[in-house]
Amino acid sequence: MNPPNVLNVFKGPDALVQFFDPDRSPPLPLVELPDALNPLRRDGVRIFAKMLTQLPAQNVKSLPALRMLRNERDAHRQKIVEASSGSTVLSLGMISRALWDHEDVHAFVTNKKHPDSLKLLRFFGLNVNLYGGLAQQEPYDPKGIMSRLKETAERDPGVCYPGQYHNDHNWKSHEQWTGAQIWKQLPEITVFCSTIGTGGCAVGTGTYLKSRNPSVKVIGVCNVFGDPTPGPRHFPNFESSPFPWRETIDAFEDVSSVDSYRTSMKLSRYGIIAGPSSGEALHGLLAYLQRMKADGRLPELADPSTGEVSCAFICADLPYQYMDMYYKKLADEEFPPIQNENLLHCDQDAYDERWFLQPNEAASHLLSHNSMLTNAFCSVPSPCLCKWQSSSPVSTSSSVSSVISDSSSSNSVESSPSIFSVPECSTSKSFTFPEITVLDLRPRDIYAASHLCGSRNVPLPPAQKDFFGDARALEQRWAEMKEAVEREDWIWADGRSILVLCADGDSGRMATAMLRAKGCEAMCVEGGYPAMFEYLDGYER
Ligand X SMILES: Cc1ncc(COP(=O)(O)O)c(C=O)c1O
Burial of 8 by CB count in 10 Å (0-12 exposed, 13-18 middle, 19+ buried)?
A: exposed
Distances 381 to 71, 365, 377 between C-alpha atoms, Å: 74, 12, 7
Residues numbered 46-75 forming contacts with ligand X, rule: CB under 6 A: 59-61
Backbone angles phi, psi at 109, to 5 degrees: -130, 140
Which residue's Cβ lies closest to ligand X? 231
Distance CA(406)–CA(419), nearest Å, equals 13
Nearer to ligand X, 165 or 433 (CB): 165
Q: Ramachandran region of residue 30, left (φ > 0), alpha (ψ -120 to 50) or beta? A: beta
Report, in Å, the least distance between residue 294 CB and ligand X. 27
Nearer to ligand X, 277 or 430 (CB): 277
Residue 197 interacts with ligand X (CB under 6 A): yes or no: yes
Among 22, 231, 359, 508, the residue binding ligand X under the rule CB under 6 A is 231
Q: What is the DSSP-derived secondary structure letter of residue 340? A: T
CB contact set of 25 (below 8 Å; sequence gap of 6+): 5, 8, 19
Report, in Å, the least distance between residue 90 CB and ligand X. 9
CB contact set of 159 (below 8 Å; sequence gap of 6+): 78, 79, 81, 152, 153
Among 22, 179, 199, 508, the residue binding ligand X under the rule CB under 6 A is 199
Residues numbered 313-332 forming contacts with ligand X, rule: CB under 6 A: 316-317
Nearer to ligand X, 247 or 494 (CB): 247
Nearer to ligand X, 198 or 450 (CB): 198
Residue 196 interacts with ligand X (CB under 6 A): yes or no: yes
User: Could you tell me which residues are beta bridge partners of residue 452?
Assistant: 387
Beta-strand ranges (E) seen in 52-123 are 79-83, 105-110
Report, in Å, the least distance between residue 313 CB and ligand X. 11
CA terminus-to-terminus distance, the chain: 82
Each residue 73-102 as x (binds ligand X by CB under 6 A) or -, in order, gives -------------xxx--------------
Report, in Å, the least distance between residue 216 CB and ligand X. 18
Among 56, 93, 144, 200, the residue binding ligand X under the rule CB under 6 A is 200
Among 38, 117, 167, 277, the residue binding ligand X under the rule CB under 6 A is 277
- Name the segment binding ligand X (CB under 6 A); options: 135-143, 200-208, 359-367, 417-425: 200-208
Residue 198 interacts with ligand X (CB under 6 A): yes or no: yes
Task: Give me the amino acid identity at 265.
Answer: M
Nearer to ligand X, 316 or 510 (CB): 316
CA-CA-CA-CA torsion sign (49, 54, 59, 61): negative
Positions touching ligand X (CB under 6 A) are 59-61, 86-88, 195-202, 231-232, 275, 277, 316-317
